[in-house]
Every structure is written in structure tokens, then in C-alpha cells.
Structure 1
Amino acid sequence: MEIRRLDRANLTPAYGILGERLQPWDALNAPFEGAWCVISGGGESTPHSHHEYEIFIAMAGRSTLVVDGTDHEFIAGDIVRLPPGCTHKVVNNHQEDFEYYGIWWDTDMSDAFLARHQKEKA
């Protein structure tokens, strides 16, 4: 068992937000990657799309999730599934920070996981 603590003092910028990626974590053998994401009040992420599947879990605050040009309220406790290829961004029009956890995966990550898993079993 291992617990990793969020290091708020060393969040890294990416896609217009601050975050801490799940990887690298040598002890973790998972078919996905993830990141804790923080959008400051008045901020927003960079609109983007990608080939991976993605899930966002809203942890604190409220925001607007814009997917393919359509606005959706996104508040703490919500979970959203984003299909590959959709253009999305998170907009925080509030004063307090908005925090969410993003998880993404694709077939290459799944194949690599299976290969590592088989090697560990051997």
C-alpha cells in the first residue's frame, strides 16, 4: 500500500491549467494515466481534442465544461465521460479555484498494461 500526497506547491502548467500527473509512479501498473487539475478563479483550460478516452471527476468548486461548443455546468461531485475526438475546455467563471481529476487511456496504454501484467505474473 502506498499513499501519494498532492503537492500543491509544485503543480505544473499544462493545457492552460495547473496540475500534478499521476505518472511517473514506479509502483503503479495501470492501463491509464491521470492528473489532479486546478483552474484558478477566472481561468480556463486550453481547448483541445485527442484520441484518448477521458473521464473528469469534479472535486471542488464549480465551472463550465465546454464540449464541441456546448456549455455544461460542471460542479463538485459530477463525473463526465469525454469521447475521443471531442474538443473540450473547462472554464472557471467563479472566484474560488475549481479542482478536478482527469483520467485518460487508449489501446496502447491498455496493451502496455497487459504486457507488464503478464511479465509480473511470469
Structure 2
Amino acid sequence: MELRPLVRERMNHENGADAQRLVPWPVLNAPFEGSWCVVAPGGATGTHAHHEYEIFIALSGEAVLDSEGERKPFKAGDIVHFPPHTAHRVINESDEDFQLYCVWWDTEMSEKFMARHTSEQALA
């Protein structure tokens, strides 16, 4: 077992949130990347879109998702998917931190995963 700890003191402030990338790391062959994110009370991430597929998993608190002109409440236990090139942001209108885990992937990540997986299987 290899544990990758969340170290809040090492979180970087980027795109309106504090974040720590937890995936990938060298021994983990995964077809995706992931980051723990915290949006401070009254804060918001910047509106952005990208070529990757993405899901957000709400971990604690309550926020609002704003995407393509639509706003929806987003609270602990919820999950949302954004297809590639879909503009989105998280708005924390509450007085508590909003924590979420973000996972994203694209075709290139999937192809690299399969190549590593195939070579690992050949060595086994």
C-alpha cells in the first residue's frame, strides 16, 4: 500500500481555489489526474473550459455550479460531469470552506495508461 497524503500547508492557490494534485504519482498507473480543491467562503473558481473530460465530487460544504448560463446547487455527496470545452466554475456563497475532488482525463491519458498497462502485463 502506498498512501498519498493531503498536506494542506502545501496546497497551491490557483484559479480561485487552494489545490493539491494527488494523482498521478510514479507508481500509480491511472488513466486520469486528480486534485483536492478548497474554495474559500465568498470565493469562486475562475470560469474555464478545457479539452479534458472532468468530474467534480463535492466532499463538504455547499456551493453553486455555474456552467453555460445554468446555475445549480452543489453540496457534499453530489457529483457532476463536464464534457470537454464546457465552461464551468464553482461559487462558494456560504460562510464555510467548500471542498471538492476534481478528476479529469483525455484520450492521450487513456492511451498512455493502456501502453503502460500492456507493458506491465507482458512483464508479469
Other structure's SS at 1:22 match? strand
| Higher deviation after alignment, 61-70 or 2-11 | 2-11
User: What amino acid does structure 1 have at the position aligned with 2:29?
Assistant: N
Q: CA deviation at 1:2?
A: 1.5
Other structure's SS at 1:111 match? helix
Give unpaired runs (5+ residues) of structure 1.
none
Partner in structure 1 of residue 3 of structure 2: 3
CA RMSD of aligned residues (A): 0.9
Q: CA deviation at 1:23?
A: 3.5
User: What amino acid does structure 2 have at the position aligned with 1:90?
Assistant: V
Partner in structure 2 of residue 76 of structure 1: 76
Partner in structure 1 of residue 30 of structure 2: 30
CA distance in 2, matches of 1:27, 1:48: 30
Other structure's SS at 2:43 match? coil
| Higher deviation after alignment, 11-20 or 53-62 | 11-20
Sequence identity of aligned pairs in percent?
51
Partner in structure 2 of residue 19 of structure 1: 19
User: What amino acid does structure 2 have at the position aligned with 1:93?
Assistant: E
When the two structures are aligned, how many residues end up with a matched partner? 122
Partner in structure 2 of residue 53 of structure 1: 53
CA distance in 1, matches of 2:72, 2:63: 9
CA distance in 2, matches of 1:55, 1:108: 17
Q: Which consecutive aligned stretches of 4+ in structure 1 deviate over 2 angstroms post-superposition?
A: none
Give unpaired runs (5+ residues) of structure 2.
none
TM score, norm. by length of structure 1: 0.96
